[in-house]
Structure 1
Amino acid sequence: MSLSYQDQVNLLQDILVNHLEDCCGSVSECEQIGRLVKSLLANNSVSPELQPLLEEIYTYCQSGKNSPDLESHINAHQEELSQWVGQINSYS
């Protein structure tokens, strides 16, 4: 069973909120974020306003999974995480 568009958006938001609130995460979460973003970008239901945001999130997760210190990477992106969560709320 595949996830609906809204389920994917909710899951993406949940992971980003966890990174924001817990200031930690895992490489597998970064990989999952990447898969979700790729899937959402391939979906015709995504609003054009959301596409650049998703691309920023994709860059964040790719940098995070390749970071030697993921926790520092997440801490360095707290402001962006907060903005992304708010923007996802406004578009979903």
Structure 2
Amino acid sequence: MPISQQDQLNLLKDILSNHQTDCCGSVSECEQLERLVKSLMVHPSLDQNAKAVLEEIYDYSQHGKNSTQLDNHIELHQQELSQWVNNINQFS
């Protein structure tokens, strides 16, 4: 059974928040972020601001899963992680 758009946004926020707080993560979390973003991008009600944020998160997760230093990648994006969570709160 598919999860609702709101549940997907909550899961997205949870993973991003964990990356920000813990300054570490896993390849599987990056892959989960990609799946969530792809699923959310197909919603016709999604506005352009939300799409732009989701594209940034997708790029972050792609670079993260391919990084040999994932924890460093996460540390370098601390400010963006915080901003993305704030943005998701505004359009969720």
Specify every segment of 5 or more residues in structure 2 that has no aligned partner in the other structure, as ranges: none
Cα drift, residue 45 of structure 1: 2.6
The equivalent of 2:55 in structure 1 is: 55
CA RMSD of superposed structures (Å):
0.6
Matched, 1:27 2:9: no
The equivalent of 1:78 in structure 2 is: 78
- Alignment-mate amino acid for residue 15 of structure 2: I
Partner Cα separation in structure 2 for residue 37 and residue 85 of structure 1: 14
SS at match of 1:49: helix
Q: Report how many aligned residue pairs link the two structures.
A: 92
% identical aligned pairs:
61
Specify every segment of 5 or more residues in structure 1 that has no aligned partner in the other structure, as ranges: none
SS at match of 2:25: coil
Cα drift, residue 46 of structure 1: 1.7
Partner Cα separation in structure 1 for residue 27 and residue 87 of structure 2: 24
Q: CA-to-partner distance for each residue in 1:29-53, whole Å, 9 max, x for gaps?
A: 0000000000000111322220000
Partner Cα separation in structure 1 for residue 82 and residue 57 of structure 2: 12
SS at match of 2:86: helix
The equivalent of 1:10 in structure 2 is: 10
